[in-house]
Amino acid sequence: MWKTEAMGVAHVETAVRQCLPPCEIKCPINEDIQRTNVLISLLPEDMDSAREGIIQISDYLYERNPFFNICGYICGICELECNYLKKGGAIKRRLLKRFLSDVYTDHLKEVGEFEIVKNKEAVAIIGGGPGGLMCAYHLGKRGYNVTVFESSDRLGGALWLVPDYRLPKDVLQTTVENLVRIVGIDVRYNSKLGVGDLTLERLKNDGYKAVFLATGLPFPRVLTFEGQSLEGQDLAGVMYGHTYLYEVSHNNITPDYFKGKRVIVMGGGNVAFDVARSAKRHGAEVTVVALERNDKDHRDGIPADEQEIRGAWEEGIKIIYSRGVRRIIGERGRFRGINCPACVSVFDEEGFNPKFDCADCIDLEGDILIITVGQAPDRSLLQKEDLLDECGRFDVDHLTLQGVNKPWVFVGGDVRRVGFMVEAMGEGLVAAESVDRYLRGVDMREGRRRDYEGYQIPRRRDYKREPEVPWMPPEDRMHFKIFEQGFTLKEAIEEARRCVTCGPCLSCKACISIGFQKSLSPVEVDEARCSGCGHCVYVCNYYSAHLISSGEKIVSETDIFRCKSCGMCVAACPSEARRMVDDNTAERIDELYSSLTQCPSQNFV
């Protein structure tokens, strides 16, 4: 079994042009996707032998992303920019990480505490969700004394609202419990900012030198029409999606809670579909009403993931697109239906600004209305803590997340900008770097604004189709257990091998980490020999070889960021103008032939 060593070699190169595969650019934490895909592809096909490699790969991912095993269940944002998306289907990175998670989650319980000298300042983290815990994890690893103040009795934030059929609660519990244990983070539960004497100033007076505010969005957004809050949201039978999922996560909803009820869910995001599919499992006849169109490529396309929409459709949930709510209809204090005008546009040049055609309306009857149109922060608390400007927006630097009025306070995660879990994690990572710089007294901005360049998919004669991922039939999955089948070892290896490693070797170096190569071998061009024929350009699958003008002649050149050191251009050059520097391939071939001739009795295929 090979052994991979980090050695600090796989990272975004500090350069004017920083080149990565598009999947890694899309990932808010720039996870080493290409490198770990390569390592998965090199696993032996025997599970007992592969386990050591799985742990090594997982340890490497965990070093930067302590939530990677949760990402394996609910995060596939990188797949949206995979070069393979239009060729044969995006590489199923989420399921590759879930494959690792199936082994590593239990292994986390055996991981000892990191040997960290906690000799730096005290830092307070307000909120124990993904953003707050990500910041706490990285500051804890740097030696800071970190305390997380969590308003509830459990860590994980909004992750607890994800239904069990998408994210098993034992995976979540194991992840957050071991994260704080491994890094040595102090946690104070049932500690809510603004309640009692817990204020930002009190934390400062208690010796905390910096605070990261990541409180999330505790309040549901009310339903509005043309800027006005709709009447009828206090009717019996009207509830909010956040509240419903909270009760589901605490097992307060009986299996037949909505049996025989017609439930209307208003919203088009993933949370709305979590609500709709959960209500279906609680016995309801469900209809989703969304402002957005069913064309996801359109500016007004529905934001929910395709697999969520597909799952809802398979489960018999009706989806009505391009409709809003103009009026909530009640009778004797109970909800009875909604009046829905056509939504002709959702966004304009100013952003979210729905426009409706009230001449085109339909009425929908129902027994329950669940409003799931987003969440909102506790603005009164934020105003009281002097964190908002005169327009009611956060008064923070968008690059460093540092407060303008209170430079020792940093703000990030959903409370600042609503997004996916991994986007909150990304802001936690940014905040950790900012807090560290602030407390060390160094420049807060130097070297932090990066411009990434993505790569095209390498040329291939054929591109492999994505594998089918089996789901239980709809009639057999009306429960809250995982119904998506994960990869076997063989399937994971095959899917990882489908990855064509679009990014540069400079930011991967998987082959070096396992000792397969001693170093990358750059290609050197002898301009005196080069005739500018272009053979190298023709055979290069990675768009690295190209022609340039040099004095009075045309010669070839190699883009070192794109070059894979495959040697195709060297072999194709008719004038032998190209060579691979420090390449020991010939010596390795000689050693192989020598070993074969010493074993004449063996048959080699």
Residue type, 114: F
Residue 117 lies in a domain: no
Q: Are 298 and 347 contacting, i.e. CB atoms less than 8 angstroms apart?
A: no
Same domain, 252 and 315: yes
In a domain, 142, yes or no: yes
Domain end (from 399, 414, 440): 440
User: Token digits for 226?
Assistant: 């043309």
- The closest of 418, 416, 379 to 398, measured between CA atoms, is 416
In the predicted model, is pLDDT for residue 11 greater than 70?
A: no
What's the Cα-to-Cα distance from 312 to each of 114, 191, 218, rounded to whole Å? 43, 37, 26
Residue 13 scores a pLDDT above 70: no
The one-character DSSP state at 487 is -
Question: What single-letter amino acid sits at 368?
Answer: I
- What integer pLDDT is reported at residue 10 of this predicted model? 47
Interstrand relation of 351-365 and 334-348 (parallel, antiparallel or unpaired):
antiparallel
Type of residue at 415: V
Do 357 and 252 share a structural domain? Answer: yes
Residue 15 pLDDT: 41
d(CA 321, CA 339): 14
Q: Do 368 and 240 fall into the same domain?
A: yes
Question: Which of the four pLDDT bands, split at 50, 70 and 90, describes residue 577?
Answer: very high
* Neighbouring C-beta atoms of residue 376, cutoff 10 Å: 14
How far apart CA 316 and CA 285 sit, in angstroms, is 8
CATH of the domain at 547: 3.30.70.20
Burial 416-446 (b: 16+ CB within 10 A, else e): bebbbbbbbbbbbbbbbbbbbbbbeeeebee
Residue 296 and residue 356 share a domain: yes
Q: Is residue 3 part of a domain?
A: no
Together in a domain, 235 and 342? yes
Encoded amino acid at 238, one letter: V
Q: Which of 184, 187, 243, 255 is nearest to 219 (CA)?
A: 243
Q: Which of 39, 46, 99 is nearest to 68 (CA)?
A: 99
Do 416 and 541 lie in one domain? The reply is no
Same-domain pairing of 470 and 570: no
Provide CB contacts within 8 A for 492, sequence distance 6+: 40, 43, 95, 96, 99
Kindly tell me the sign of the dihedral angle through the C-alpha atoms of 57, 61, 66, 68.
Answer: negative
Is residue 576 domain-resident? yes
Q: Are strands 318-320 and 224-225 parallel, antiparallel or unpaired?
A: unpaired
Output the CA angle 417-422-427, nearest 5 degrees: 50
Report the CATH number that the domain containing residue 382 is assigned in CATH.
3.50.50.60
Q: Which of 478, 493, 513 represents a domain boundary (last residue)?
A: 513
Q: Is residue 233 located within the same domain as residue 353?
A: yes
The single residue listed with the structure tokens 């992750």 is 159
Please state, in angstroms and rounded to a whole number, the distance separating the CA atoms of residues 78 and 81.
Answer: 6
Calculate the average pLDDT of the chain: 92
Q: Tell me: do 282 and 343 sit in the same domain.
A: yes
Length of the chain equals: 605
DSSP state of 555: E
Q: Please give the single-letter amino acid code of residue 390.
A: E
- The answer as to whether 482 is a domain residue is yes
Owning domain of residue 541: 523-597
Q: Which of 374, 402, 428 is the last residue of a domain?
A: 374
Among the ranges given (86-100, 353-367, 549-563), the one the predictor scored with the smallest mean pLDDT: 549-563
Pairing of strands 578-580, 228-229: unpaired
pLDDT band of residue 17 (cuts 50, 70, 90) is: low
Closest CA to 112 of 59, 43, 160: 59
> Residue 309 falls within a domain, yes or no?
yes
CATH of the domain at 499: 1.10.1060
CB 308 within 8 A of CB 339: no
**How distant, in Å, are the alpha carbons of 121, 546, 551, 573 from that of 537?**
55, 5, 20, 10
Output b/e per residue, 557-571; b: 16+ Cβ within 10 A.
Answer: bbbebbbbbbebbbe
pTM of the model: 0.90
DSSP 44-95: -SSHHHHHHHHHHHHHHHHHH-TTHHHHHHH--GGGGG-GGGGTT----HHH
pLDDT digits (tens, 9 = 90+) for 23-52: 999 999 999 999 999 999 999 999 999 999
Q: How many domains does the chain have?
A: 4
Check whether residue 61 and residue 106 sit in a common domain.
Answer: yes
Give yes or no for residue 2 having a pLDDT over 60: no
Per-residue pLDDT tens digits for 487-501: 999 999 999 999 999
Answer yes or no: is pLDDT of 268 > 80. yes
The single-letter code of the amino acid at 566 is C
Of 30, 31, 174, nearest to 104 (Cα)?
174
Q: Report the pLDDT value the prediction gives residue 9, as an integer from 0 to 100.
A: 42
Q: Is residue 538 part of a domain?
A: yes
Q: What is the pLDDT of residue 590?
A: 75
Alpha-carbon span 22 to 433, nearest angstrom? 24
Question: With contact defined as beta carbons under 8 Å apart, do 160 and 154 qualify?
Answer: yes
DSSP assignments along 442-478, one per residue: --SSTT----EE--PPPP-S--PPPPP--B--GGG--
| Alpha-carbon dihedral angle through residues 198, 200, 201, 203, given to the nearest 10 degrees | 70
What local confidence, expressed as pLDDT, does residue 5 receive?
66
Distance (Å, whole) CA 531 – CA 546: 13
| Residue 518 in domain | no
Same-domain status, 367 and 383 = no
- Residue 603 pLDDT greater than 50, yes or no: no
Predicted confidence band of residue 8 (pLDDT cuts 50, 70, 90): very low
- Residue at token pair 């934390």: 203
Give the neighbor-by-neighbor strand order of the sheet with 145-149. Answer: 186-188, 145-149, 122-126, 208-213, 409-411
Question: What is the model's pLDDT at position 597?
Answer: 67
* Structural tokens at position 90: 């995006």
- Quickly tell me which residue has 């596939």 as its tokens: 76
Residues 53 and 131 in one domain: no
Quick check: 509 pLDDT over 70? yes
CB atoms within 10 A of CB 81: 16
439 has pLDDT over 50: yes
Task: Please give the structure tokens belonging to residue 218.
Answer: 């505790």
Is there a contact between 428 and 412 (Cβ–Cβ < 8 Å)?
A: yes
What are the pLDDT digits (tens) for 387-426? Answer: 988 888 888 999 999 999 899 999 999 999 889 999 999 9
Kindly state the DSSP code that residue 585 receives in the 8-state scheme: H
- At 127-136, the pLDDT tens digits run 999 999 999 9
